Amino acid sequence: MNLCIDQGNSRTKVALMTDEGKMIKHFIYKSFSSADVERLFDLYDITDSIISSVVNIEAAVVNTLHRRSQHFVLFDHNTPVPIANAYDTPETLGQDRLAAAVGAKSLCPDENLLIIDAGSAITYDFVSEKGEYIGGNIAPGLKMRFTILARMTKKLPIVETEENELIPLFGKNTRDAIAAGVVRGVAYEVKGYMRTLREKMPHFRTFLTGGNAPYILNNVRTSKTEERDIRYEKNLVLIGLNEILRFNKTASLKVERPLRSK
């Protein structure tokens, strides 16, 4: 099995997957250490691993993964990926964004793709039907918007929303007014990107992922067209990491395979 690790700003998501992309196990850690790596390798039949992080990775975690794996990938901007990267500054592109793009492309290989990752920040990335990562945008996430709204005013409270909460069009109290303003604002933002792309190209798919995706999903899907066009994929980054690991293992085997004598 492959061990895929996505280390984010607030939590670490871990998956055990096959080369074919089947997810066997899935874990979420508030903190992740080399002891956790050792435990996973002791409990499961793991052969290869990959880690991606938007924060600094502990050297002990990297060393343990390298020692316990037959093939290990520390995913950064130098790592080969199965799509073309047209970003002007690839060294500044978040690995989670690129991994999500690879994951979406592996699921819909022949389509134009809008990938929306609703985490601490909300990212909007576009991959062409030819398999080229064109670029993307970064916006404040839901929690960030709620927090800043409270901090930058004197009387507004910090609001938290429920995952499956249907947000009203207009709030009838301050709490609902803030919830509607933030969640519906993001929903309209998502729809705006989709509408703009639809005007430019007749065919594209939208992937929605990230920890806050469920908070906005029901408020985006308001028609049969949007229901069909939006695909919620909870583990899109992990799917992409697994695909990147498989791609690098295949490339390594090709390099290591001895040439046959003529």
Choice among 96, 110, 117, 125 that is catalytic: 96
Does residue 167 lie within any of the structural domains? Answer: yes
Does residue 117 lie within any of the structural domains? Answer: yes
Residue 8: Cβ within 10 Å count: 19
Based on the structure, what is the number of domains in the chain?
Answer: 2
Q: Are residues 111 and 226 in the same domain?
A: yes
6 flagged as catalytic? no
Q: pTM of the prediction?
A: 0.89
The rounded percent of the chain whose pLDDT value lies above 90 is: 75
pLDDT of residue 254: 57
Does residue 168 lie within any of the structural domains? Answer: yes
SS3 track for 140-177:
ECHHHHHHHHHHCCCCCCCCCCCCCCCCCCCCCCHHHH
Q: Are residues 123 and 227 in the same domain?
A: yes
Per-residue pLDDT tens digits for 171-222: 999 999 999 999 999 989 999 999 999 999 878 999 999 988 888 887 776 5
Longest dimension (CA), the chain: 81
* DSSP state, residue 56: P
